[in-house]
Amino acid sequence: MRIPRFFRKSPFSSAFFSRSGLNFGRQAFREFTTPRKPRHRALRVLLTLVGVGLLAVLLVFGLVIGAAMLGFTVLSRLLRQRGKPVAKASDARTLDGEYRVLRKPALTAGR
């Protein structure tokens, strides 16, 4: 079985792009998408400081949101327990609780 001519080359090869009329090779795409550092030294320092500042703002924002979530949880639990009696620990060996006796279900004779 022969492979059709169209599928012999990789779709990302330059021959594919030139045949299909796209004329946009890998090198041009790589040059278009790679980030470039500015050549001016002061601009590099300024962009570095802006990046570090942005990271710091995002970090503080995340910490504030996390603290607010924890505070809301603690506050809601405290309000939910308001008015309920607080258990006093009279003896550390005593376990107090409510229980129910469950009866063993009888086997059915229909087996």
The answer to whether residue 52 scores a pLDDT higher than 70 is yes
How confident is the model at residue 20, as a pLDDT?
52
Alpha carbon distances (Å) from 14 to 6, 65, 85:
13, 50, 78
For 88, the 3-state DSSP assignment is: coil
Q: What is the b/e burial string over 14-41, where b = at least 16 CB atoms within 10 angstroms of the residue's CB?
A: eeebeeeeeeebeeeeeeeeeeeeeeee
Query: From the centroid of its chain, how far is CA 17?
Result: 37
Q: Give the residue, 9 or 61, on which the prediction is more confident.
A: 61
The two tokens of residue 87 are 């258990």
The answer to pTM > 0.75 is: no
Residue whose structure tokens are 């505070």:
71
Q: For residue range 7-19, what is the model confidence (pLDDT) as tens digits?
A: 555 555 555 555 5
pLDDT beyond 90 at 76: yes
pLDDT greater than 60 at residue 81: yes
Across residues 26-44, what is the average pLDDT?
81
pLDDT of residue 24: 57
Which sign does the torsion angle of CA 57, 59, 64, 68 carry? Answer: positive
Q: What is the mean pLDDT of residues 19-46?
A: 75
Number of DSSP helices (H) and strands (E) in the chain, helices first: 3, 0
**pLDDT tops 60 at residue 98:** yes
